[in-house]
Amino acid sequence: MAAKNEPKYFNRELSWLEFNQRVLEEAKDADNPMLERLKFLAITASNLDEFFMVRVGGLHMARKAGLRKREPSGLTPLAQLREVSKRARNMMTDLHRCFNEVVSPALATGGVRHASIDALTHEQETALFEIFSEELFPVITPMAVDPKKGMPLLQNLAMYLMVRLQPNSAKDTEDRFAIMPLARAGARIIQLPAEDGYTYVLNEEAVKKYEANWFPGFSIKESAVFRITRNADFAVQENEAPDLLSGMEDVLEERKTGDCIRLEVEASISKALLKMLCNSLPAEAENVYPVEGVLNLKDFMSMAFLEGFDELKTEAWPPQASPDVVPNEPMFGQISEKDLLFYHPYETFDPVVRFIEEAAVDPETMAIKMVLYRTSSDSAIIAALKRAAGNGINVTVLMELKARFDEARNIGWARDLEQCGAQVIYGVKGYKTHAKICLVVRREPAGVVRYCHFGTGNYNESTAKLYGDISYMTANPELGADASAFFNALCGYAQPQNFNLISMAPIGMRDKLMELIDFEISRARKGKKAFISAKVNSLVDVVLSDKLYEASKAGVKVKLNIRGICGLKPGVKGLSENIEVSSIIDRYLEHARIIHFCHGGKSRVFISSADWMPRNLDKRLELMVPVEDKACRDRLIDILNLHMADNQSSWQLKPNGSYERTLAKGAKKVRSQQVFYGQACEAIASAQKNRRTRFEPHRPDSKQG
């Protein structure tokens, strides 16, 4: 039973770090091939970068402002910083130990070798010197540093070499200092000639080897690689900015000069050089993170996809075509015939792209309206929207300029679309628009028809191959009317409407969820069957958590599949003994939001763009869409049930906040992602076989006798 004064919630930041630890465990899992393990190391490092920039950055700002307000777990900003620092240091040690002691040596055995910079062959030495002469020496310009004046402006997350120099003059004995910018990800890994396999050194190793060439007249006393992480937790001041676009451009500039909240340095750096570095940046001693071995493992992501070396990789799972989509028939006719539901990336994202591309060139298309939050760098969807605008179609795009770390790209797309004649809305004042919706309005013989796509993920063809997300396509008139009302509310001055079916945050989504949970509670209190099954990425909303606690006490069985942060404590006697929380970490990022309520045996099933967090329910424009088509609804229930049954890639959250792997003990092994991919392959193979064996008789010509 929960102690009387014990908080009912886990700390959000520590819960996120536990999520990232589960990602790291995939890198440590001996059952995964080595390049797959390298990929998970890179993901762990990348996740930590964003965590420090945003979450730790925000805590630093709160501490500097003197805020002492306790969050739901009872910790002040200062207490959170201390706990987060301790946990993050352990994680970084674990991360680099895994690379240094396990993954890198095993890759070398498999033919991917990190050469010792001091033990190169003559051929390798010659090749490296040529690279230095042609690509490094002409490009890299050292920056002099005066310790009394501080550092020049250094880029966030970029790598640098700090050099301590001694003049070769008896009259001048004062040390000099310089900083050398190192290559970013694309040029960091330098391949060298080798008889077999793939042999490489790192850019910083090559620069160190030849560093004396940049400083004639000086001796190198010491040099060390370092990397800074700046606070990026800045938001546009919408009441002060002349317009949102210029306000977002100001935010991008602010990030360039944010405080240094993490300084990663080579562990071998001397105390004197480290002190000088900290004073010049400046960086507080408590924010220094010494690293044994290679810094910035995020850059190794590209190596995880080296050509060849199939024995070091997982089996490829190319997305499969959906058997519900006929390749050569227009999407509109197929959606009119029946609702379509896809589970990406097991099923390809192509039907969604086709839907928009066909609308863009269809003379019967009257309007295309959609929300874009994150897109790919070479977006086919953006290209289709530009084409549609050029064809005279009324194109309205809500381009969310406040999508963190995608702001610059979205500003560029917004300007491109405007130049092509599209109407572009730069988000909604005071909120982020995170809904995943596209509406196509067509003129048809029977009248005007509205076709909708609702999703749980972004309109991004690249991430659609990596993220587990739901797409739902329908010509349901009520959902079409709701979609129109949604865009009218966002793009004009219309007040939000009472929707027929959908729920929208921040106005009605939480209330709808509470209403549905209350219905389960009332059923349970009458001794009737009641359950809630939900899959979301994060759960930290206190109001919803309290309602789920109430449901548990009433006897409602609650199963939650929460990939990342979970503030709710499951399995606590007297509080949450009827709540189970699991988390799946596998080759694809779990990103779908699916919710299933028993509802007296009349299942209510929803997909949503929103996680169960205050930011989603109060500060973002989100959608929760009921799926009432029986075939689509039943499939979503099957998807949920299979994820809940996973006993290979799933972790169970314990009442003390720790996670344990959910492993099969005598039961059938179920790895949900593998099953979903197998089902997708079987479904399309079966559909193709049926199409091949269909008999179409020749019919006599009616004109012949």
For the stretch 613-622, pLDDT in tens is 999 999 999 9
For residue 398, what pLDDT band results from cuts at 50, 70 and 90?
very high
- pLDDT surpassing 60 at residue 387: yes
For residue 494, what pLDDT band results from cuts at 50, 70 and 90?
low
**Number of residues in the chain:** 705
- Backbone dihedral region of 572: left (phi > 0), alpha (psi from -120 to 50 degrees) or beta? beta
Pairing state between β 531-536 and 557-562: parallel
Longest dimension (CA), the chain: 116
**Residue 234 pLDDT:** 61
- Summarised one tens digit per residue, pLDDT across range 191-232 is 999 999 999 999 999 999 999 999 999 999 999 999 999 998
CA distance 24 to 456: 25
Select, from the ranges 203-217, 391-405, 425-439, the one with the highest average predicted confidence (pLDDT). Answer: 203-217
Classify residue 130 by burial, with Cβ atoms within 10 Å: 0-12, 13-18, 19+.
exposed
- pLDDT surpassing 90 at residue 477: yes
The whole-number average pLDDT for the span 653-672 is 90
**Residue 241 pLDDT:** 43
The whole-number average pLDDT for the span 473-487 is 97
**Residue 436 pLDDT:** 97
* Helix, strand, coil % in the chain, rounded to nearest 5: 40, 25, 35
**Residue 705 pLDDT:** 41
The whole-number average pLDDT for the span 174-180 is 93
In the annotated binding site for ATP, the residues are 47, 467, 563, 591
CA distance 120 to 116: 7
Percent of the chain at pLDDT > 90 equals 80
Name the average pLDDT for the chain: 92
Half-sphere exposure (Cβ direction) of 403: Cα atoms closer than 13 Å: 23
Q: What residues are labeled active site?
A: 434
DSSP lists the bridge partners of residue 472 as: 341, 454
**Residue 662 pLDDT:** 87
pTM: 0.92
- pLDDT surpassing 80 at residue 536: yes
The whole-number average pLDDT for the span 362-389 is 94
- pLDDT surpassing 50 at residue 307: yes
- Backbone φ and ψ of 561, nearest 5°: -110, 100
**Residue 498 pLDDT:** 82
CB 125 within 8 Å of CB 119 = no
The whole-number average pLDDT for the span 384-397 is 96
In the annotated binding site for Mg(2+), the residues are 374, 404
- Summarised one tens digit per residue, pLDDT across range 22-59 is 999 999 999 999 999 999 999 999 999 999 998 999 99
- Summarised one tens digit per residue, pLDDT across range 137-163 is 999 999 999 888 888 889 999 999 999
The encoded tokens of residue 458 equal: 């972004």
**Residue 236 pLDDT:** 45
Domains recognised in the chain with CATH numbers: 32-312 (3.30.1840.10), 331-498 (3.30.870.10), 504-691 (3.30.870.10)
Percent of the chain at pLDDT > 70 equals 92
The whole-number average pLDDT for the span 495-519 is 92
Half-sphere exposure (Cβ direction) of 642: Cα atoms closer than 13 Å: 16
- Taking the CA atoms of residue 121, residue 124, residue 126 and residue 128 in that order, the dihedral angle to the nearest 10 degrees is -140
CA distance 591 to 467: 6
**Residue 242 pLDDT:** 45
**Residue (of 247, 259, 252, 251) closest to 57 by Cα position:** 259
Question: Strands, DSSP E only, in 373-502?
Answer: 394-399, 423-425, 432-433, 437-444, 447-455, 467-474
